[in-house]
A and B are shown apart, each in its own frame.
Chain A
């Protein structure tokens, strides 16, 4: 403490599950996230998400991927005092079709302009946000996520995989922050709102 405030980590004893359950993409300029002021130097979670003025269409677009085929990974590195987190999301989407082409064209376009925002839920139930631009109605430093490194195959045999492995990548100074609302509140801002899905 004389040099730096370090902190431990404790969690209630219990099992945890792996894998991604749900994920949605958004234009980082469409949404504002609300975060309480830091307490004793500890940054707080996001507690609310609202569409910014001028947004007229659903701002969050849900991506349906193959069950048990969504993954988030991160790798931290440091040079001197400069910290970097390399983040990656991998999703397997079946069926090479025009829908996949259109979806990937959208990802490519946004990656070139303002990046992609991601909001995703693990099978553990925890929800996280990455690529956001506005917090407490002010812009934060650029957190750019791009579509980068995807591949795909038609397969050869009838029961081979036919589809794409979608890779979304970004680097930032920290890991994504958690959101405390439920996934249902996220769906309320999505293109499946009201469908009861």
Chain B
């Protein structure tokens, strides 16, 4: 849920910023607070007028953006780990060269 609100008449406008699929209008974007931060930090009138006034404070927008990121990271971390289903490849040929290299490396490690 964004803190900043885009005015109804600009919800169909497309602006290039951040990351999104092509053609997503402001009304369908979930990173509106990021655009509000850009607008406030630049004082760009053409962006500021897109938002309902008064806009949230810059500090509040930055806090909300950070909290959203942390929540997304936590949600990803809490996802159940997908067990690996692939076992070792059956009948994997092992070349003589490969066997020799393995031996050689072990020997070198021992020397060190």
Contacts and interface: CB of A to CB of B under 8 A. Distances in A.
Contacts of B14: 51, 188-189, 193
Interface size on B, as a range, is 20 to 34
Contacts, number: 86
A6 B18 CA distance: 30
A196 interface: yes
Contacts of B41: 36-37
Contacts of B16: 48-50, 179, 181, 185-186, 188-189
A111 B38 CA distance: 32
A50 B18 CA distance: 13
Contact of B22 (A37, A52, A188): A188
Interface residues of A, number: 27
Contacts of B44: 32, 34-35, 48, 136-137
A61 to B, nearest CB: 15
Contact of A48 (B21, B24, B38, B45): B38
A149 interface: no
Interface in A176-192: 179-182, 184-189, 192
Interface string A120-148: 00000000000000001100000000000
B43 A187 contact: no
A8 interface: no
Contacts of B39: 34
Given A47-B38, A50-B15, A34 B47 contact: yes
Interface of B: 13-24, 35, 38-39, 41-47
13 contacts: A34-B39, A35-B44, A36-B38, A49-B17, A50-B13, A50-B15, A50-B16, A136-B43, A137-B47, A184-B19, A184-B21, A185-B20, A188-B22
